[in-house]
């Protein structure tokens, strides 16, 4: 087989130019358990006071998701569905479920006989319906599904696998798109640990160039363009600049991991962004959620950053590893022509995630209608804001940027199409 045939086709030089392909997942029954038990599954604790039943929450969430997809398709962007990709990978899913089951068999010893039987029945149900099975986990079996939540929680905490994929509709997090191909993320929260495996099955190993050895999620890494100028003062932006968010949860070895990614991913320039929760642990999100770079700032066009100023001021940034650490706000002012503000009240929480808009290129962004002040600031800065309701889905702690994984941009797709034609 020629070398070019096995090279990754999914890549990302910059997320601020017109995208061509996004990966998305319409939330399904696997999310219900998180809506009912938001504390344990990293959803907004305020959901406990939500008057809607979990089924109604899901109905509203699916409506919001369909509207998002409809807007993106209307812009000529192709949407790949995680579920459809998995349909073509049944053999791999079967192998994965069996591997996971055999891996945790020894852990089952302390459990009651009835619980063990329920787990066996669930695994059988997963094997009968592979795609739904891998998404629903042990909730696939009726006996396990109808068990008391405290018992189920005990099992999930013990096994840390075969879990319902409650947050996988945030497709941005388990996979990282870089200029040379995809990188498999490693999730910080145990309840999300399977997501990168499932995503890799769906997207195919051949599209991956690296697997992370330390906890870094897709929301921590953003590709954008950086300022460059040629002789004569011509200002231009070049892609391939990686903004790498390091949070309090990133343990020792993160610097070596960054160097490994840098070597493999074809990045031109790197900024390491030390998140505000390092200096102030009270800023960490509720429900054990991990603070992501794309929830405090996002480059949304060449030279334009959308960010919460207070969060920037509480962050530190260095160019490369071991570079001088500078205040995040000073860094933003120096490296971007404009910083558009996300007000404190719209930074995080039920009515937040203002920085987590989705850049669509050509000064256009997809945002949620509940972000009144952020949207106003964006419009005043000359951006075309497409605002649709996402107030249900954002209670899972993230907005449109988290709900889409960037797989390809227009210019790159043109190159890819030309290469395909040449091969034919």
Partner 1 sequence: MNQKISIAALLLIAVTLAVGTRLIFTMEVPVYSDDGSKITGFAVQSFEVYEDINETQELQDLSRIPNPFRK
Q: Can you tell me which of 10, 274, 400, 406 binds partner 1, judged by CB under 8 A?
A: 274
Cα distance between residue 347 and residue 398, in whole Å:
11
Nearer to partner 1, 85 or 278 (CB): 278
Cα distance between residue 327 and residue 311, in whole Å:
10
| 8 A C-beta contact, residue 227 and residue 235 | yes
Cα distance between residue 151 and residue 358, in whole Å:
39
> Residue 325 CB, nearest distance to partner 1 (Å)?
4
Which of 14-22, 168-176, 248-256, 396-404 is the region at the interface with partner 1 (rule: CB under 8 A)? 248-256
**Cα dihedral value 217, 220, 223, 226, nearest 10:** -160
**Beta strand 234-246 pairing with 221-230:** antiparallel
Q: Can you tell me which of 222, 249, 308, 374 binds partner 1, judged by CB under 8 A?
A: 249
Which tokens hold the place of 281?
């642990």
Which of 17-25, 105-113, 258-266, 318-326 is the region at the interface with partner 1 (rule: CB under 8 A)? 318-326
Residue 259 touching partner 1 (CB under 8 A)? no
SS3 labels along 297-346: EEEEECCEEEECHHHHHCCEEEECCCCCCEEHHHHHHHHCCEEEECCHHH
> Residue 161 CB, nearest distance to partner 1 (Å)?
21
Q: Tell me the CA distances in angstroms from 237 to 222, 270, 303, 304, one per residue in order.
A: 16, 15, 8, 11
Q: Can you tell me which of 226, 250, 347, 394 binds partner 1, judged by CB under 8 A?
A: 250
**Beta strand 234-246 pairing with 304-307:** unpaired
> Residue 245 CB, nearest distance to partner 1 (Å)?
12
- Determine the 3-state secondary structure of 237 from DSSP: strand
Which of 21-29, 105-113, 250-258, 395-403 is the region at the interface with partner 1 (rule: CB under 8 A)? 250-258
Nearest to 65 by CA among 371, 355, 393: 393
Nearer to partner 1, 98 or 235 (CB): 235
Nearer to partner 1, 47 or 291 (CB): 291
Nearer to partner 1, 246 or 267 (CB): 246
Cα distance between residue 241 and residue 226, in whole Å:
6
Please state the φ and ψ torsions of residue 407, each to the nearest 5 degrees: -110, -25
Nearer to partner 1, 113 or 252 (CB): 252
Nearer to partner 1, 186 or 404 (CB): 186
Distance of CA 101 to the CA centre of its chain: 26
Nearer to partner 1, 109 or 230 (CB): 230
Q: Can you tell me which of 88, 213, 253, 382 binds partner 1, judged by CB under 8 A?
A: 253
> Residue 292 CB, nearest distance to partner 1 (Å)?
15
Residue 247 touching partner 1 (CB under 8 A)? yes
| 8 A C-beta contact, residue 78 and residue 69 | no
Which tokens hold the place of 156?
């999930």
| 8 A C-beta contact, residue 227 and residue 237 | yes
- Determine the 3-state secondary structure of 286 from DSSP: helix
> Residue 215 CB, nearest distance to partner 1 (Å)?
9
Nearer to partner 1, 25 or 292 (CB): 292
Q: Can you tell me which of 53, 84, 279, 362 binds partner 1, judged by CB under 8 A?
A: 279
Residue 295 touching partner 1 (CB under 8 A)? no
> Residue 188 CB, nearest distance to partner 1 (Å)?
10
Q: Can you tell me which of 47, 82, 246, 261 binds partner 1, judged by CB under 8 A?
A: 246
Residue 293 touching partner 1 (CB under 8 A)? no
Nearer to partner 1, 212 or 357 (CB): 212
Cα distance between residue 400 and residue 365, in whole Å:
10
| 8 A C-beta contact, residue 421 and residue 22 | no
Residue 322 touching partner 1 (CB under 8 A)? yes
Interacting residues with partner 1 between 176 and 235 (CB under 8 A): 227, 229, 233, 235
Nearer to partner 1, 254 or 390 (CB): 254
Q: Can you tell me which of 324, 421, 422, 424 binds partner 1, judged by CB under 8 A?
A: 324
Q: Can you tell me which of 105, 252, 421, 424 binds partner 1, judged by CB under 8 A?
A: 252
**Beta strand 269-274 pairing with 234-246:** parallel
Which tokens hold the place of 165?
């994929």
Residues that bind partner 1 (CB under 8 A): 227, 229, 233, 235, 246-254, 274, 278-279, 316, 322, 324-325
């Amino acid at each position: 087989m020629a070398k070019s045939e096995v090279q990754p086709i999914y890549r990302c030089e910059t997320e601020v130019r017109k995208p061509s392909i996004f990966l998305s997942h319409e939330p399904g029954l696997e999310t219900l358990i998180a809506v009912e038990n938001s504390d344990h599954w990293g959803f907004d604790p305020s959901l406990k006071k939500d008057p809607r039943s979990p089924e109604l929450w899901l109905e509203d969430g699916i409506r919001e998701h369909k509207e998002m997809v409809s807007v993106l398709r209307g812009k000529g962007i192709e949407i790949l569905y995680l579920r459809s990709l998995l349909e073509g990978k049944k053999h791999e899913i079967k192998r994965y479920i069996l591997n996971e089951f055999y891996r945790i068999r020894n852990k089952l010893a302390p459990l009651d006989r009835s619980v063990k039987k329920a787990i066996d029945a669930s695994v059988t149900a997963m094997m009968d319906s592979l795609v739904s099975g891998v998404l629903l986990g042990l909730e696939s079996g009726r006996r396990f599904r109808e068990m008391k939540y405290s018992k189920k929680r005990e099992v999930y905490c013990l096994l840390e696998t075969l879990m319902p994929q409650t947050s996988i509709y945030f497709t941005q997090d388990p996979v990282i798109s870089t200029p040379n191909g995809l990188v498999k993320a490693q999730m910080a929260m145990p309840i999300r640990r399977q997501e990168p495996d499932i995503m890799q099955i769906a997207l195919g190993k051949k599209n991956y160039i690296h697997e992370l050895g330390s906890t870094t999620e897709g929301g921590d890494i953003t590709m954008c363009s950086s300022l460059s100028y040629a002789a004569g003062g011509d200002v231009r932006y070049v892609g391939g600049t990686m903004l790498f968010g390091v949070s309090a949860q990133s343990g020792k070895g993160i610097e070596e991991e960054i160097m490994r990614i840098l070597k493999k991913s074809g990045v031109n320039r790197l900024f390491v962004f030390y998140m505000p929760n390092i200096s102030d642990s009270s800023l960490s999100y509720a429900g054990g959620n991990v603070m992501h770079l794309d929830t405090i700032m996002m480059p949304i066009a060449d030279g334009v950053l959308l960010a919460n100023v207070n969060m920037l001021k509480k962050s530190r940034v260095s160019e490369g590893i071991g570079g001088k650490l500078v205040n995040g706000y000073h860094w933003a002012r120096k490296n971007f022509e404009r910083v558009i503000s996300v007000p404190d009240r719209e930074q995080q929480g039920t009515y937040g995630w203002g920085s987590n808009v989705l850049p669509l290129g050509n000064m256009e962004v997809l945002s949620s209608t509940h972000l009144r002040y952020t949207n106003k600031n964006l419009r005043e800065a000359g951006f075309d804001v497409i605002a649709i309701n996402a107030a249900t889905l954002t209670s899972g702690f993230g907005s449109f940027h988290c709900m889409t994984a960037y797989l390809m941009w227009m210019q790159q797709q043109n190159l890819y199409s030309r290469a395909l034609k040449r091969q034919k």
